Structure 1
Amino acid sequence: MINVAPVILCGGSGTRLWPLSRTGFPKQFLCLTGSESLFQQAARRLSDLSSEDILVSDPLIVTGEDHRFLASEQLREIGVALGGALLEPVGRNTAPALTLAALAAIEGEGDPILVVTPADQTVIDSTAFSSAMQSAIYEAEHGSIVILGIVPDCPETGYGYIQIESCTSSEEVLTVKRFIEKPDESTAEAYLAEGGYFWNAGIFVIKASVWLKVLEQFRPDIFDATCSAWSKRTIDSQFTRPGKAEFSMIPSESVDYAVLEHCPGSAFPIKMVPLDAGWSDLGAWDAVWKVLPKDGDGNAHIGDVLTTNSKNTLVHATSRLVGLVGVKDVIVVETPDAVLVVDKSHSQDVKHIVSTLGRQRREEHTLHRKVHRPWGWYDSIDEGGRFKVKRILVKPKASLSLQKHHHRAEHWIVVRGTAEITNGSQNFILTENQSTYIPLGEVHRLANPGTIPLEIIEVQSGGYLGEDDIVRFEDNYGR
């Protein structure tokens, strides 16, 4: 049996897909092309690689502290067990991230093949994907570094390219000649006309020991610094945290720059398997439009949308009706707290709006109105000078931390389910249509002892209503 350890690189913020993608809920966790998020689609694709001679373990996730519960919950929703989560204290690009995964994978005295993919891509033909990946796995078993090259269908300037050595049409595994930076349009057109060029999707297959060996050869500084951070790791259930101070000292570098671009012609063979499976990285809203089903006028609509005399539009409505009249090549993305309208040809420029939001320190840069937490979520539905109203959902058997606030009091009204309340020295149960009052400064906790979700309406009142006005005494999630 060939042992395979899937590795999902789950970083990035997807700024060009704002306002749906935000720092607190980035694009890999969004359902953009169906009923599952891009992260869930990636996990499912990798788990489907098993065959008679390929044994696929539970996936390793490399992500940040803020997204650890979101990732584990989304895996639970699709029935995929978490093999482990490696939590980066700061972003250091993909080379250190993969090194953490390789160090974790070889701890069990084995040397599995790492199948590495970003979490924010989509593939239409899952059968073709599995076939290409299995070919790559067989090649990597012999010690090669294997990458997947996307068969190009247009002169794309947003991707790096891979040039292969000359080959025959019958070859499944090709030899990489060189890697090329993102080209201008005329150069990209020449690549397509000449043939032998593929898009670099950032998907690759390599034995854990081979990755560590080749990294030590080409970037010993990254290798040594990441090993140092790994030696200072702490483990909390399935979450592994490398040493923060040590990890912060690692040079930030991608897998491509650190290693892969140095491999052609070196002692480390690097191969490529073509992938023609309807791949997209959904890097901007125009890419989302391309992969979605469309009507006869080229319109792709999600949510409550009405149009007349409009062509080639994308509308993503999440909370209200959106109407379009007499427009074309327009993208409209509606969320409860922000609306984006952009010409389809300027989709890449959405990142400038996000940069402005960041400079102004606006909440729309990082959080949705509806904020997910490990115990459930809350939705801030109204706010005034000295009050805020939230709708709160607590998952079955989950609870918030034991806490208090210095600047606000709270009123809780149960609208669904059963609430177990700690309010100072009192402990009691509330059911639908019952309520309680939490005085300013009182130690309290909200829990759901039942088997259905608990929903309450919370009315906060006070002089300061920020989320940082919280003192935790006990917390099930290590916050």
Structure 2
Amino acid sequence: MALTTITPVLLCGGSGTRLWPLSRKSYPKQFVPLMGEETLFQASAKRLSGQGEGLSFTSPMVLTNADFRFIVTEQLQAVGIDPGPILIEPEGRNTAPAILAAALHAASTDPEAILLVAPSDHVVPDADAFHAAVARGLTALEKGDLVTFGITPTHPETAYGYLELAGPPEGDGAPVALARFVEKPDAARAAEMVEAGTYLWNAGIFLFRAKQVIEAFQTHAPKLMGPVQASLDEAKTDLGFLRLAPGAWSGAEDISIDYAVMEKATNLSVVPFDSGWSDLGGWDAVWRESGPDADGVVVSEHATAIDCRNTLLRSESERLEVVGIGLENIMAVAMNDAVLVADMSRAQDVKKAVAALKEKQSPQATAFPKDHRPWGWFESLVVGGRFQVKRILVHPGASLSLQSHFHRSEHWIVVEGTARVTVDDEVKLVTENESVYLPLGCVHRMENPGKVPMVLIEVQTGTYVGEDDIVRYEDLYARG
């Protein structure tokens, strides 16, 4: 039997504020290991790869922003997936412009290309069942329909939008005509819809041919066509990424594909899916998907629950133990720089905490403790008025930029691996338990010439130790 080729389109530009403090603007939930060792992004990419149920997936097309571009490639390579095109959005304009850009890019080489568009932060435990649902959606695609996927509700949920079906599902998972989209309901209305049996959760996953969705945009959202096409036409290639042109992109309306196209389209079919799904839209969802014990308790490796019920205790640091005693309906998530404690029923209000922290200008609102860079990552261990101590990890073969500083000098102490260090005109190897001094104003660079990660401790001293005190002369990653 011939396989149907499908191009996955992964959307990964969101911030995931409802899973703070683990998910933050600088490193959102799709890139962190929320469920097991793999990240949600990696699990999504693996789910939409290879072959299954008569399907053959190409390398994924990814839409993200500049801050995440190297994280995307690093995480795909870590699970053995070669990325397809990676489109860099100059700014977030919601899902409609992003999906249109993906469709136009695909159509430039194959208007008949079948695209499966999915957020990269969902949990779908049964990949085979999902592939089977996609295969069922192909039957509607052949009729010229746009296809979306609806999740059979397991409980009344107020955090999701719903899809009202034109009739009850047949039970075989075959596509059903859509009656209308329904906004996120209150608890009473959600209970009524679940009881009715003709409503599904809106998963935000779509299947269509590139030319068909472009025609839908031309019909229902024609004002998006000009800015998005111009941004794609003027896009620049940068180290294998495709940077959409910011000027034209800024003229695109900030709007979801549901509002722009899907709610207006008359050729929309829904494939019911009932084999397990979650968008992990809050810590209550993480608790549910983690499999609570007989007392309803979920704990991480560095957490202990004593006489607790219906509680989530999670520590994200091996140096920080979380202990709960006599807790009920509580979620507690601890990191090195922030701790969340809340009633389980207030999971959707965590985003209010982020807003409050932004109001008081707390860096914890948006900045992740580990600052991920294309060469590795660093974290601040101690920060004082005129000094800072960092731990820095550099990937094998990676290199920091050739740079200098106006306001600080630095000491580097290698604690794992070997560093090749440039200080002005001198280049030397620095091995474990050796150090090097970088005087104020010197031109310097750090590289990892080895095959294992290199770790060092950096001690900065000076009148200013901010990250913007960097003058770059050369950079493998084309940063300004």
Question: TM-score, normalization: structure 1?
Answer: 0.96
**Does residue 221 of structure 2 align to residue 219 of structure 1?**
yes
Tell me, yes or no, if structure 1 residue 195 matches structure 2 residue 200.
Answer: no
Q: How does 1:325-364 map to 2 (within 5 A)?
A: 325-364=325-364
1:455 partner SS: strand
Could you tell me how far apart the structure 1 residues matched to 2:62 and 2:220 are? 25
1:233 maps onto 2:218 in alignment = no
Contact 2:299–2:305, Cα closer than 8 Å, also in 1: no
SS class of match (2:108)? helix
The alpha carbon displacement at 1:143 in A equals 2.2
1:49 and 1:134 in contact (8 A); partners too: no
Decide whether aligned partners of structure 1 residues 218 and 7 sit closer, same or farther in structure 2, where only a CA change above 3 A counts.
Answer: same
Q: Which residue in 2 is equivalent to 1:367?
A: 367
The aligned runs of 1:406-425 (5 Å cut-off) are 406-425=406-425
Output aligned runs, 1:272-283, within 5 Å.
272-283=270-281
Whether the 8 Å CA contact 2:235–2:244 is kept in 1: the answer is yes
Cα distance, 1:139 vs structure 2? 2.8
Correspondences of 1:243-282 after superposition (within 5 Å)? 243-264=245-266, 269-282=267-280
Amino acid at match of 2:251: M
Structure 1 residues 238 and 110: alpha-carbon distance in aligned structure 2, compared to 1, 3 A threshold: farther
Could you tell me whether the CA contact under 8 Å between 1:403 and 1:443 is conserved in 2?
A: yes
Partner of 1:79: 80
The equivalent position to 1:295 in structure 2, one of 293, 296, 313, is 293
Q: What does the per-residue CA deviation read over 1:269-293, in whole Å, with 9 as the maximum and x for residues that have no partner? A: 2111101121111111111111112
Q: Report if the CA contact (8 A) 1:83-1:238 is conserved.
A: no
Matches of 1:213 and 1:447, distance apart in 2: 50
State the number of aligned residues.
474
Q: Which moved more, 1:250-259 or 1:237-246?
A: 237-246
TM-score normalized by the length of structure 2:
0.96
Change in 2 beyond 3 A, CA 1:431/1:368: same
**Equivalences for residues 132-171 of structure 1 within 5 A:** 132-167=133-168, 168-170=170-172
Superposed CA deviations along residues 293-315 of structure 1, whole A, max 9, x for unmatched, are: 22221110112112211111101
Decide whether the 8 Å contact of 1:49 with 1:133 is kept in 2. no
Question: RMSD between aligned alpha carbons?
Answer: 1.4
Counterpart of 2:455?
A: 455
Of the three residues 169, 178, 181, the one matched with 1:179 is 181
Whole-Å separation in 1 of the counterparts to 2:63 and 2:344: 32
- Tell me how far apart the structure 2 counterparts of residues 198 and 422 of structure 1 sit (CA, whole Å): 59
Which residue does the alignment assign to 1:470? 470
| CA-to-aligned-CA distance 1:39-82 (integer Å, 9 cap, x gap) | 11111111155454x33110011011100111111111111110
Identical columns (%): 45
| Structure 2 residue aligned with 1:441 | 441
**Residue type at the aligned position of 1:329:** N
- Return the match for 1:20 from 6, 22, 38: 22
User: 2:15 aligns to what SS in structure 1?
Assistant: coil
Q: Which residue of 1 aligns with 2:119?
A: 118
Matched, 1:35 2:37: yes
- CA–CA distance in structure 1, aligned partners of residues 456 and 194 of structure 2: 57
User: Where in structure 2 are there 5+ consecutive unaligned residues?
Assistant: none
Tell me how far 1:185 sits from its aligned partner.
2.0
The residue number in structure 2 matching 1:242 is 244
Contact 1:69 1:374 in 2 (8 A): yes
Farther-moved stretch of structure 1 (64-73 vs 353-362): 353-362
**Residue matched to 2:383:** 383
* Distance 1:381-1:411 versus aligned 2 partners, 3 A rule: same
